[in-house]
Amino acid sequence: MTTEAMLLHYIYLVAIVAEAMSGAIMGMRRGMDLFGLCLVGTVTALGGGSIRDMLLGHYPLGWVAHPLYLAFTITAALVTAMLARHVHRLRILFLLVDGLGLVAFSILGCDIALGVGVHPAVAVVFGMITGIFGGVLRDILCNEIPLVLRREMYASVSLVTGAIYVGLHKLGTDPGEALLMALGTGCVFRALAIRFKWELPGFSGTGIRGFE
Amino acid sequence: MTTEAMLLHYIYLVAIVAEAMSGAIMGMRRGMDLFGLCLVGTVTALGGGSIRDMLLGHYPLGWVAHPLYLAFTITAALVTAMLARHVHRLRILFLLVDGLGLVAFSILGCDIALGVGVHPAVAVVFGMITGIFGGVLRDILCNEIPLVLRREMYASVSLVTGAIYVGLHKLGTDPGEALLMALGTGCVFRALAIRFKWELPGFSGTGIRGFE
Amino acid sequence: MTTEAMLLHYIYLVAIVAEAMSGAIMGMRRGMDLFGLCLVGTVTALGGGSIRDMLLGHYPLGWVAHPLYLAFTITAALVTAMLARHVHRLRILFLLVDGLGLVAFSILGCDIALGVGVHPAVAVVFGMITGIFGGVLRDILCNEIPLVLRREMYASVSLVTGAIYVGLHKLGTDPGEALLMALGTGCVFRALAIRFKWELPGFSGTGIRGFE
């Protein structure tokens, strides 16, 4: 394994832990039991990649080949449940790790899609699917309109990260450099979006009548 | 490409635009941002076919092989957002184009399933999955009970269209004639269902206690 | 076909009928029309196995190869609709048949996953996916937080059943004996869980602020 691949692998493990924690936190707020927390945490962490692989026909899925990923996400959900009273103090740390996870997921998704041989624009879309669909599934399981559809630059971070990574790849840049540049830009973008509360224009739903 | 295949292809493009608009309209009414509109529009337009292909193991998916479809659905969602104030004036046009899309999706779904070699009854089911599951995903993303499960003859139109198409196919009818007959019958059926507000019997939920 | 395989097959047919009925009952309580009941019933009965097969890349899916399964689930939904006024009297019978279905689904899911060659722990997870994801899809279609995430030992029954079945399989036990032992233990566990209302600890959502 190259240094870049190892780096990305470790970031991936951090990312699925962060995503599993975000799922478990949402589940706790909905009054789920311990099993529910573990399931929602696992779906949040591994769901985006699973949807990507099913859409691509890319088998076996990551967690099917590496069951250890399941141990990571279930442990993360259980630890979150134990630390529930204290976890809100870590909000900023959590947001940063979650942002790192989003960026790492996006790069990994692009990488796998490029490996399957899809068009570069489609690879960026698969990066975004990997990055955000875990959270979409989490919100559907928790009976919410997915947060990513309503607020924040979450998806934009994923698209920009993926576009940089795929673009550099197509320009023939060294894979390690492409990885670091995409990772760095994505994380800075996400941190700025959190800091300055950037948002895309939304629609209040007024003036759109006649479609009852 | 035969004339029939070209006709169906153009109708397909019209259909995904109509479906993307229906997704974007629903998203606007839920206060989504621009990204959310594009995602919900795209999922509405391409989600039914994607579920069909994943259930069949039929790879690559249409939009993975033809990224232009994504450009169509995203553009349709953005244009819908720009025209939001005026779009309700087009309600009848929209319903008709949407009905055309449903019928075209159903025929295409049957066609692909027959090509994979499934039982004719299963092909009709795949036509229906292609026709209605985009809307089901749209409603799930918008946190609604899917409309197709509660009202209108939407699914019936899909089943009748598919049954005619698959039946004529099995009888050895010329593909072009089968296409036109299924297309025509489906569109007339849908127009009549809209005009006369046909509905299947529903259940009010009363008298079904004891299953809390 | 061996006696064990035949037994499991018949239990499977009973199970999809029970699951289709549970879907139809939930759909009736949401005011769905006849088509909606049939669709929700079918998704509840066949959805867990379909998700399992898509995650494994195990094609063709059961109901694609055996369209008769669709006839079973649709008939079960229609009969449930006709018997709606009387069906609550059968609550205990229904819970028992539903429990039998859960256990049978779990064993079948493990069996198929082991056949694909996954790690034993992953096989148990696929047993659980087969057992509970039909109900998860049912609750998502009915716009509910999935029941399995909030209450009852439903998922635990599936995991225990799967662990016993996969464990005995790995120890080289005769397949028929492994089946009967897993089936028996699972059913007794489920019956006890219903009788004594066993629950895993839940979270009320208090004290988890700061993640708005």
- C21-54 CB burial, b ≥16 within 10 A, e <16: bbbbbbbbbbbbbbbbbbbbbbbbbbbbbbbbbb
Asked if the C-beta of C34 comes within 8 angstroms of chain B's C-beta atoms, the answer is yes
3-state secondary structure of A124: helix
Q: What is the mean pLDDT of residues B77-88?
A: 83
Q: What's the pLDDT score for residue B208?
A: 42
Asked if the C-beta of C36 comes within 8 angstroms of chain B's C-beta atoms, the answer is yes
| A56, A149, A156 ranked by CB distance to B40: nearest | A149
Per-residue pLDDT of chain C (212 residues; tens, 9 = 90+): 678 788 888 888 988 998 998 899 888 888 888 888 999 999 999 999 999 999 999 999 999 999 999 999 999 999 988 887 776 677 777 777 788 888 999 999 999 999 999 999 999 999 999 999 998 999 999 888 887 777 667 888 999 999 999 999 999 998 889 999 999 999 999 888 878 877 666 665 444 443 33
| C29, C37, C141 ranked by CB distance to B146: nearest | C141
Asked if the C-beta of B54 comes within 8 angstroms of chain C's C-beta atoms, the answer is yes
| B122, B149, B208 ranked by CB distance to C29: nearest | B208
pLDDT surpassing 50 at residue B39 = yes
Measured in angstroms, the CA of A33 and the nearest CA of chain C are apart by: 4
Q: What's the pLDDT score for residue B147?
A: 78
pLDDT digit string, tens, across residues B42-63: 999 999 999 999 999 999 999 9
Return the domain boundaries, chain A. Answer: 3-196
Percent of chain C as helix, strand, coil, to the nearest 5: 75, 0, 20
pLDDT digit string, tens, across residues B199-210: 666 665 444 443
Place of tokens 């995430």: C149
pLDDT digit string, tens, across residues B13-33: 988 998 998 899 888 888 888
Q: Is A183 exposed, middle or buried (0-12, 13-18, 19+ CB in 10 A)?
A: buried
Q: Residue B59 and residue A56: Cβ atoms within 8 Å? A: yes
The amino acid at A166: V
Asked if the C-beta of B177 comes within 8 angstroms of chain C's C-beta atoms, the answer is no
CA A13, CA A105: separation in Å to the nearest integer? Answer: 10
Contacts of B204 in chain C (CB under 8 A): 31
Q: What is the mean pLDDT of residues B59-72?
A: 95
What percentage of residues in chain A have a pLDDT greater than 70?
A: 91
CA nearest neighbour of C194 among C92, C88, C90: C92
Q: Residue A122 and residue B70: Cβ atoms within 8 Å? A: yes
CA A118, CA B163: separation in Å to the nearest integer? Answer: 35
The distance of Cα B162 from the centroid of its chain, to the nearest Å, equals 12
3-state secondary structure of A33: strand
Most confident of A55-64, B90-99, B148-157, C152-161: A55-64
Token pair, residue C155, equals: 């998922």
Better pLDDT: B77 or C147 = B77
A interface test, pick of C118, C132, C138, C145 with most A CB neighbours within 10 Å: C145
Q: What is the mean pLDDT of residues A186-193?
A: 89
Query: What is the 8-class DSSP label of residue C30?
Result: T
Residue C115 neighbours by CB distance under 10 Å: 11
Token pair, residue A47, equals: 């769901």
Asked if the C-beta of A211 comes within 8 angstroms of chain B's C-beta atoms, the answer is yes
Give the C-alpha distances (Å, rounded to integers) separating A155 from A49, A120, A199, B18, B130: 15, 18, 11, 24, 27
Place of tokens 């016993």: C164
CA nearest neighbour of C121 among C62, C181, C51, C169: C169
Q: What's the pLDDT score for residue A208?
A: 43
Contacts of C140 in chain B (CB under 8 A): 140
Token pair, residue B84, equals: 């939001």
Measured in angstroms, the CA of B35 and the nearest CA of chain A are apart by: 7
Q: Residue A199 and residue B39: Cβ atoms within 8 Å? A: no
Token pair, residue C39, equals: 């669709």
CA A59, CA A44: separation in Å to the nearest integer? Answer: 20
